[in-house]
A and B are shown apart, each in its own frame.
Chain A
Amino acid sequence: MVNPVLIIAVPLLIAFLMPFFNYIHKKLPAFLALLTTAFNVLVISRNFSAIMSNPMVIEIGGWQPPFAINLYIGPLALLAITVINVVGLILSVYNLNHDYEINDKFYLLFLMIIAGASGMVMTGDLFNLFVFIEITSVAAYGLTVFNRGDSYEAAFKYIIIGAIGSVFLLIAVGFTYASVGTLNMAEISHLSPNLSPNLMRIITLLFMIGIGIEAELFPLNLWVPDVYSEAPTSVTSILSGAVSVAGIYALGRIFFTLFQDPALFSYLMIIGVITLIVGELVAYNQENIKRMLAYSSIAQMGLIVTIISINTSEAIAAGLFQLINHSILKVLLFISAGVLIKAAGSKKIEELNGLGNKKPIASLGFSIGAMGILGVPFFNGFVSKLMLINSTLNAEKIIITGLILFATIVEIAYYLKVVQKLYFSNRDKKVFKTANIFIPVLVLTIFVFALGIYPELITNTLNKAASELITNTEYITNVLGGM
């Protein structure tokens, strides 16, 4: 057994040593980032079965949980950190061979995002959650401007929206502390049923504003299209594939574990449905391929939030599966799209015509990602969409079933438009030289088909994670030990 606290500590340590390693050799930071993320995945895999059978509570500094910060890793957190760190590992492989000018500072911030997102997922302390959210966001602000060009405006917008969100998050943390008298999540969830419902609603809405920034919920996601279209490819991929997972996880912790109030789920569902509809409709009209993927990402987050807010264990398991699939597919789509954009020299979908023969790997990667999002059989998206529709029908939410099907039709329209441009038109313009992305595309494709053909790989974990969210008594007794 290796102590999982290293998942946060090692990337932070290596991150701040990056300038030093860069001084020794220019190529060293890229390989060290790869080694660090590989180390994280190794730590998780060594602990996987132990955590599955028994959730792990780690006391930092040897103080008992209610008095000091503790980490909590149950099946849900395990699922989220696995996704975050595997995405980080795949992107580190991609970073070895990239199209952008990146240096040691890039890897510094990249490792900080991974440490911050893992910390958001593992922490058992509310203020610690705030700090990790800020670590993740500040690193993301910095990474956004790596491409120069229009990225400064995107970064400014992101900073303003992110900072307003962090103010609301801090107010929420302060109100929680003032009303409950503790910052330990288990103790808050133990004491929160005594709070007055109105106070609880105000606190939860403040949390929703604060965390909705990371989770890309509707009124707060104005930064997403700009940042996703201007930031370097691997930054876009990690924001979409890892940070949004951490955001949804934090949202789930607040709504399910900390403050259990059925009335709150209807707010969450309304926000989710609006996010889904707006995202899909705006994505349909986009001419810029990265903006299209960004709006598609927003729509998927809306879908996941909607499904999770149905609050049955079946629906939550389906939503989590969709979240994992979304991470895999969006990383695949973004790195393929990055190569296609570089090859065409433009972000316009029109300009991508006929690249199917010139850039076979990237085009195939994009097509596989698109099929996965649409839910073609044998792709992972098919299984999760089936589970989504099944769970909405069982919960008798026919309107949401209709919405999912409607969203799929819109998705077919705009994803197949790109695939058609790639394969069924001729290229008469110049094709630029691009980086080789064979290994990341291969690994992600294996994931896509493995989960699509044999979903039993993770259904057990999903069900355990869903039951962890639905009832918080196990969480409380695990941390506080029946105090």
Chain B
Amino acid sequence: MISFLEKWSFFGGSILLILIGLYGVIAKKNLIKILIGLSLMDTGVNVLLVSLGYVNGGSAPILTSVIKSNSGAFVDPIPQALVLTAIVIGVAILALGLAVVIRIYEKYGTLDITKIRGLKW
């Protein structure tokens, strides 16, 4: 049981996070909650990517005074590099989205998408 959890909890958990986020984006009516859903999706993908590159018992891929050679197990550094970039992009999109939400609130005085009918949703 424990080994099963160890093996699959990262994948299952991250996919669950993505699905929760997707539900939030699709089902919620509040603009801020939609953006929270988006943020959850981003986090889920980042966890998924990191877990794809995880090696059991591996250490960080850096040579230090303690780990002098690359003979031991290292986790894959490339997904981590991808996740760093993805986090930055996600934050930028979230900030832009919140800025737009502020403008929408100033214009309509509400955050409920069912009450904002300037365009067809």
Residues of chain A touching chain B, judged by Cβ–Cβ distance below 8 Å, are: 127, 131, 134, 138, 141-142, 145, 150, 152-157, 159-160, 162-164, 166-167, 170-171, 173-175, 177-178, 183, 226, 230
Contact = CB atoms under 8 A, between A and B. Distances in A.
B100 A159 contact: yes
B18 A142 contact: no
B97 A167 contact: no
Contacts of A183: 78
B96 A141 contact: yes
A166 B97 CA distance: 14
B94 to A, nearest CB: 8
A230 B121 CA distance: 14
Interface in B88-121: 89-90, 92-93, 96-97, 100-101, 103-104, 107, 116, 118-121
A178 B76 CA distance: 10
Contacts of A150: 118-119
Nearest to A145: B100
A174 B52 contact: yes
Nearest to A126: B82
B83 to A, nearest CB: 9
Given A131-B89, A141-B100, A159-B97, 4 more contacts: A141-B96, A159-B100, A174-B79, A177-B82
Contacts of A159: 93, 96-97, 100
Contact of A145 (B41, B103, B121): B103
B25 to A, nearest CB: 6
Contact of B92 (A138, A153, A167): A138
Contacts of B48: 171, 174
Contact of A134 (B18, B89, B119): B89
Contacts of B44: 167
Contacts of B86: 170
A286 to B, nearest CB: 11
Contact of B22 (A141, A162, A164): A164
Interface in B4-34: 18, 21-22, 25, 31, 34
A254 to B, nearest CB: 18
A156 B100 contact: yes
Contacts of A226: 119-120
Interface centre among B21, B53, B103 (most CB of A within 10 A): B103
The 4 A-B pairs with the shortest beta carbon distances in the complex, nearest first, are A150-B118, A178-B52, A174-B49, A152-B103
A153 B104 contact: yes
B49 A230 contact: no
B97 to A, nearest CB: 5
Interface in B41-80: 41-42, 44-45, 48-49, 52-53, 78-79
A173 B96 CA distance: 24
B18 A167 contact: yes
14 contacts: A138-B92, A150-B119, A152-B104, A153-B116, A153-B119, A156-B104, A157-B119, A159-B96, A163-B38, A163-B42, A164-B38, A164-B41, A167-B18, A167-B21
A152 B78 CA distance: 37
A177 B52 contact: yes
Contacts of B101: 156
A154 B119 contact: yes
A217 B86 CA distance: 24
Interface centre among A138, A162, A164 (most CB of B within 10 A): A164
B100 A166 contact: no
A157 B38 CA distance: 12
Nearest to A173: B82
B79 to A, nearest CB: 7
Nearest to B15: A171
Contacts of B120: 226
Contacts of A178: 52-53
Nearest to B103: A152
Contacts of A154: 119
B34 A160 contact: yes
A183 B78 CA distance: 9
A174 B45 contact: yes
Contacts of A127: 82, 85
Contacts of A167: 18, 21, 41-42, 44-45
Contact of A156 (B18, B78, B85, B97): B97
Nearest to B116: A153
A157 B41 CA distance: 17
A157 B116 CA distance: 12
A68 to B, nearest CB: 12
Given A153-B104, A167-B42, A170-B49, A177 B79 contact: yes
A251 B53 CA distance: 26
B119 A160 contact: no
Nearest to A156: B100
